[in-house]
A and B are shown apart, each in its own frame.
Chain A
């Protein structure tokens, strides 16, 4: 299995609080991604990174920001969490020139 971890694995928070999810890889892959998964919507891309300090928006980026200060870590931040951001969040990594993504175990976030 690809060396990819997510933390925390579960989090319950209140509306309006900031939340940061961490994705950590040991594979030294260049590309990293954040998805969210909700019933009826499948997986949707939030943000992605194609290198250190190089990030871009995905399909559902509103309300989220990301940072990648080193190859192994990709952080997803909800500046002010809302109930609509209750979801399961998956991180994925991929070597360049391929779409073979390796996914982490997911973080279940509940915003009350």
Chain B
């Protein structure tokens, strides 16, 4: 499984876009990039995932570079409730990996008023 690297912490002003980077320079061709977040004391929550193309859903956008060595999670209008630890994970989708995930330390995003 590819190792991911994320900054330990970031700050963002409420209402502004939060751009969370992730480096996965050793990602293999069949590994997806997944993003989860964990709000204090709660279980992690799935946000979005992608393979090669940029993805968008109601929560966020995922931008993956053409060489797939890095990605950025974008929260377009951050709110105080987006304060959480954000995890970037590179994994094979289901199949022989049985959907397992390997969590790193993540990025602590703090949204301030």
What is A's interface to B at a CB cutoff of 8 Å? 31, 33, 35, 42-45, 48, 50, 56, 58-59, 90, 92, 94, 96-106
Query: Which residues from chain B contact A100 at a C-beta distance below 8 Å?
Result: 34, 46, 49
Interface residue SS majority, chain A: strand
A21 to chain B, nearest CB (A): 14
- B56-98: contact bitstring with A at CB < 8 Å (1 yes, 0 no)? 0000000000000000000000000000000101011111011
Specify which chain A residues have a CB less than 8 angstroms from the CB of B49 in the assembled complex: 99-100
In the bound complex, what is the Cα–Cα distance between A90 and B38 (angstroms)? 12
B44 at interface, CB cutoff 8 A: yes
Q: How many angstroms from the CA of A110 to the CA of B32 in the assembled complex?
A: 36
- Enumerate 29 A-B pairs (CB-CB under 8 Å) in ascending A order: A31-B99, A35-B103, A42-B105, A43-B103, A45-B102, A48-B100, A50-B98, A56-B98, A58-B100, A59-B102, A90-B43, A92-B43, A92-B44, A96-B94, A97-B94, A98-B94, A98-B99, A99-B34, A99-B49, A99-B97, A99-B101, A100-B34, A100-B49, A101-B36, A101-B44, A102-B46, A103-B42, A106-B41, A106-B43
Bound CA span A58–B32, Å: 20
Closest Cβ neighbor of B43 among chain A residues: A103
Are A99 and B41 CB-contacts (below 8 A) given A42-B104, A42-B105, A42-B106?
A: no
Among A42, A45, A96, residue most surrounded by chain B Cβ atoms (within 10 Å): A42
Return chain A residues, CB-CB under 8 Å to B43.
90, 92, 103-106
Q: How distant is the Cα of A47 from the Cα of B60 in the complex, in angstroms?
A: 30
Please state if A43 and B94 are interface contacts (CB–CB under 8 Å).
no
